[in-house]
Amino acid sequence: MYQISARGPRAAIETAWDTLAWTDPSPAGAVDAKEDTRLTWRLDAYAETREDAEASAALISEVAPELNPVIEALEDRDWVTLSLEGLPPVRAGRFIVAGSHALTKTAPGKTDILIEAGPAFGTGHHGTTLGCLLGYEHVLKTGVPNKVLDVGTGSGVLAIAAIKTGAQRAIGTEIDAQSVAVANENARKNSVANRFTTYLTRGATNQIIQSTAPYDLIFANILAGPLTRLSPKLVPLLKTDGHIILSGLLTRQEPLVRAAYTGRGLNLVKRIRRDGWSTLVLQRKS
């Protein structure tokens, strides 16, 4: 495993992130961007081989010449899990997301979600997951959703939040088999496995997804490119007056993603920005 890192102005970092995330196929298996200091941002990408790492660095240098990407070989360890161990609880509205090391007892009026450090995305610490939880808090003001679809569920935290606040059924989708196992295990640990199951599938054409539609709520915390491409498939799955919560997009990518959904009859009702990432909450009107 190789890590490719670069520091620089926000605009350059976002350009590099955007290129690595949208290139299909991308030489980077995972990409993250965040504020490093008051004046600089940091990009971290990960690649399985040296060749892919060098290709990632070349892409960064090509689109953002002011950046100086550095490649570092990592030990053969579970770096995702190690980086998450000991993280403090995340508080998002009524929700508290934490591992067993930090989740001790239920606070009055709060909903606890047990998510251990692991290889699936979604502990609540990232701006996109936090934004989705806050977006869901807004949806709950209009009522509790009955059926929920969580596209790219990762750890399952969003679907688990929905079940724990009254949803009757949630379906998760993942393109990574390890994430499917993690999400289903988290469903068991949170005592919601009888109402939440994650399936290994790509897109939204799976028979189970189609047969369970329409949904009162759809989560899609993935990337701007897939969000845009999936809009013709996801919108028809949404019930009239239902909500869809979209994240995984940089703030400057909002117009493209928003247009893909408002152009199909949805109205933007809430926008949340955290750490350079945006979350959009839209509603389907009759």
Which of residues 51, 76, 101 is at a domain's end? 76
Q: Looking at residues 102-106, what average pLDDT do you find?
A: 53
Domain annotation covers residue 104: no
Tokens representing residue 284 in the block: 């389907």
**pLDDT tens-digit readout, 201-239:** 987 878 889 999 999 999 999 888 889 999 999 999 999
Q: Give the chain's domain count.
A: 2
Q: What are phi and psi of 276, to 5 degrees?
A: 85, 0
Regarding whether 120 and 69 lie in a shared domain, the answer is no
Which of residues 76, 98, 131 is at a domain's end? 76
Range of the domain at 54: 2-76
Domain containing residue 69: CATH number:
3.30.70.120
CA-CA distance, 66 to 44, in Å (whole number)? Answer: 16
Percent of the chain with pLDDT over 70: 85
Regarding whether 153 and 41 lie in a shared domain, the answer is no
CA-CA distance, 155 to 187, in Å (whole number)? Answer: 9
Regarding whether 162 and 50 lie in a shared domain, the answer is no
Domain annotation covers residue 182: yes
Regarding whether 215 and 128 lie in a shared domain, the answer is yes
Indicate yes or no: pTM above 0.75.
Answer: no
**pLDDT tens-digit readout, 31-66:** 878 777 878 899 988 888 999 999 999 999 999 999
Domain annotation covers residue 272: yes
**Termini Cα distance of the chain:** 49
Q: Tell me, what's the pLDDT at 100?
A: 55
* pLDDT of 268 over the 90 cut: yes
* Contact call for residues 29 and 4 (beta carbons, < 8 A): no
Regarding whether 277 and 153 lie in a shared domain, the answer is yes
Regarding whether 72 and 126 lie in a shared domain, the answer is no
Q: Tell me, what's the pLDDT at 120?
A: 41
Domain annotation covers residue 103: no
Report residue 1's pLDDT band, with 50, 70 and 90 as the boundaries: confident
Q: Tell me, what's the pLDDT at 52?
A: 92
Report residue 128's pLDDT band, with 50, 70 and 90 as the boundaries: confident
Instruction: Spell out the SS3 assignment of the chain.
Output: CEEEEEEECHHHHHHHHHHHHHCCCCCCCEEEEEECCCCCEEEEEEECCHHHHHHHHHHHHHHCCCCCCEEEECCCCCHHHHHHCCCCCEEECCEEEECCCCCCCCCCCCEEEECCCCCCCCCCCCHHHHHHHHHHHHHHCCCCCCEEEEECCCCCHHHHHHHHCCCCEEEEEECCHHHHHHHHHHHHHCCCCCCEEEEECCCCCCHHHHHHCCEEEEEEECCHHHHHHHHHHHHHHEEEEEEEEEEEEEHHHHHHHHHHHHCCCEEEEEEEEECCEEEEEEEECC
What value does the mean pLDDT of the chain take?
Answer: 84
Q: Looking at residues 250-273, what average pLDDT do you find?
A: 93
Report residue 123's pLDDT band, with 50, 70 and 90 as the boundaries: very low
Percent of the chain with pLDDT over 90: 49
Q: Name the more confident of 29 and 198.
A: 198
Regarding whether 131 and 251 lie in a shared domain, the answer is yes
Q: Looking at residues 188-209, what average pLDDT do you find?
A: 89
Report residue 124's pLDDT band, with 50, 70 and 90 as the boundaries: very low
**pLDDT tens-digit readout, 157-173:** 999 999 999 999 999 99
The residues, any chain, with a CB within 8 Å of residue 106's CB and separated by 6 or more, are 112
